[in-house]
């Protein structure tokens, strides 16, 4: 099993409902366990700014799927939840990005790991650091690098919307 970190975001429709449904579906993917979920953060859109605010979170998974199979699973979940790709950085019902997959590096047309825009996005780094796991030397070094990326960014208006414990209870159906 490999530890994978994902970023999820939604800015159309029932944003909390979309995040909750996406995480429940991720937890049901074969060979995959949902280990941790961050709090939910409300954020300003980036890239294309004339659209509604986003809700974002991060998840830590343990998976036996190789990276491209995990990408296919996240793509199916996006499609099931009504994701349509009309414009880059445009509004969406759900967006699921694989940020990190163990220590693997992938550089292909469909998937790049680590996620190439992660260092630019506080809405990715803040929840990612919240769900970060591992105390080994490699994990500590990687966490320090993520923290340095976040510290180098200006304030991007990322604000806590729902704490991680409450959100995880919602995902698990305990309210």
Active site residue 50: no
- pLDDT in the model for residue 87: 64
Active site residue 14: no
Whether the CB-CB separation of 6 and 62 falls below 8 Å is answered with no
Phi–psi pair at 151, nearest 5 degrees: -65, -25
Query: Above pLDDT 90, what percent of the chain?
Result: 76
State the catalytic residue, choosing from 3, 92, 121, 170. Answer: 92
Q: For residues 107, 69, 97 and 36, what is the CA-based torsion angle, rounded to 10 degrees?
A: -120
Whether the CB-CB separation of 58 and 5 falls below 8 Å is answered with yes
Number of domains, the chain: 1
State the catalytic residue, choosing from 25, 95, 121, 170. Answer: 95
State the catalytic residue, choosing from 15, 97, 121, 170. Answer: 97
Whether residue 114 has a cis bond before it, omega within 30° of 0: yes
Comparison of pLDDT for 49 and 173, the residue scoring more: 173
Whether the CB-CB separation of 43 and 158 falls below 8 Å is answered with yes
C-alpha 95 chain-centroid distance: 8
* Domain region containing 33: 2-171
135: left (phi over 0), alpha (psi -120 to 50) or beta: alpha
Q: Is the pLDDT of residue 143 over 70?
A: yes
- Of the pLDDT bands very low, low, confident and very high (cuts 50, 70, 90), residue 14 is very high
Query: Alpha-carbon distance 29 to 20, whole Å?
Result: 15
Q: Is the pLDDT of residue 174 over 80?
A: no
Active site residue 163: no
Active site residue 97: yes
- Of the pLDDT bands very low, low, confident and very high (cuts 50, 70, 90), residue 12 is very high
Provide the whole-model pTM: 0.93
- pLDDT in the model for residue 92: 82
Q: Are strands 106-107 and 112-113 parallel, antiparallel or unpaired?
A: antiparallel
State the catalytic residue, choosing from 15, 25, 83, 121. Answer: 83
C-alpha 138 chain-centroid distance: 21
- Of 96-100, 125-129, 134-138, the one with minimum mean pLDDT is 134-138
- pLDDT in the model for residue 47: 75
Query: Above pLDDT 70, what percent of the chain?
Result: 95
- pLDDT in the model for residue 175: 54
- pLDDT in the model for residue 149: 95
Task: Look up the CATH number of the domain holding residue 13.
Answer: 3.30.70.560
- pLDDT in the model for residue 102: 93
């Amino acid at each position: 099993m490999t530890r994978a970190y994902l970023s999820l975001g939604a800015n159309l429709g029932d944003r909390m409902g979309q995040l909750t449904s996406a995480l429940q579906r991720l937890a049901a993917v074969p060979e995959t366990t949902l280990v941790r979920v961050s709090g939910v953060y409300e954020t300003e859109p980036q890239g294309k700014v004339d659209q509604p605010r986003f809700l974002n979170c991060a998840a830590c998974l343990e998976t036996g799927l190789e990276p491209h199979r995990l990408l296919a699973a996240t793509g199916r979940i996006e499609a099931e939840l009504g994701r349509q790709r009309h414009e880059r950085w445009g509004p969406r019902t759900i967006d699921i990005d694989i940020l990190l997959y163990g220590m693997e590096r992938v550089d292909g047309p469909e998937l790049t790991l680590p996620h190439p825009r992660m260092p630019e996005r506080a809405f990715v780094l803040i929840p990612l650091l919240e769900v970060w796991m591992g105390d080994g030397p490699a994990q500590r070094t990687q966490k320090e690098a993520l923290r340095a990326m976040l510290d180098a960014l200006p304030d991007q208006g990322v604000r806590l919307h729902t704490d991680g414990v409450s959100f995880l209870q919602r995902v698990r159906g305990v309210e």
